[in-house]
Amino acid sequence: MKIRIQGNNIRFRLQDAEVIKLLKAEEVAEQIVFGPDQMLKYCLRKSDTHGQLFASFSSNEICIFISPKLVESWAQSEEIGISYNQDIAENKQLNILIEKDLDCIHSANKKEVDKNHVSNP
């Protein structure tokens, strides 16, 4: 799973195996360790508690809560991404994007395509 943060935009990209794992399990998570007792965890977690989609940051963890029904419909479709704008303050939003990580179509050698990526239509 890859994460990209720029301004008030956050994007998660999931490889095919991670999409399947999220469909079958409760969460997909990764972490980056900066040193002893210093890490950042990021995850996608299925939950009906917060509506369709909701982001939180607490205890060094970025978590996107996503409804199981939304995960199921997205994972089993040709739809590439899910986007949501979460209100966080007056006139301020957090833009959330969850995408399937596609094969690179610009590869000079098609044999080098990563087998874990979702096929690019």
As a whole number, mean pLDDT of residues 21-28 equals 92
What integer best gives the mean pLDDT of the chain? 88
Q: What is the CATH number of the domain that holds 11?
A: 3.30.1360
Identify the band that residue 34 occupies on the pLDDT scale cut at 50, 70 and 90: very high
Domain assignment present for residue 113? The answer is no
Across the range 106-120, mean pLDDT stands at: 58
Q: Would 61 be classed as within a structural domain? A: yes
* pLDDT at residue 40, rounded to an integer: 96
User: Is residue 116 situated within a structural domain?
Assistant: no
Structural domain includes residue 112: no
Residue 38 lies in a domain: yes
As given in the structure block, the two tokens for residue 51 are: 């509506």
In a domain, 81, yes or no: yes
Question: Average of pLDDT values for 87-110?
Answer: 82
Over residues 47-61, the mean pLDDT reads 92
Query: H or E stretch including 68?
Result: helix 68-75
Q: Determine which helix (DSSP H) or strand (DSSP E) holds 30, and give its type and residue range.
A: strand 27-35
pTM for this one?
Answer: 0.81
Q: Which domain holds residue 81?
A: 2-106
Classify strands 9-14 and 92-100 as parallel, antiparallel or unpaired. parallel
Token pair recorded at residue 58: 């607490």
Structure tokens that stand for 2 in this block: 């890859």
Number of domains the chain is built from: 1
Does residue 118 form part of some domain? no
Confidence tier at 79 by pLDDT (50, 70, 90): very high
- Establish if 117 belongs to a structural domain: no
Q: How far apart are CA 77 and CA 71, in angstroms?
A: 10
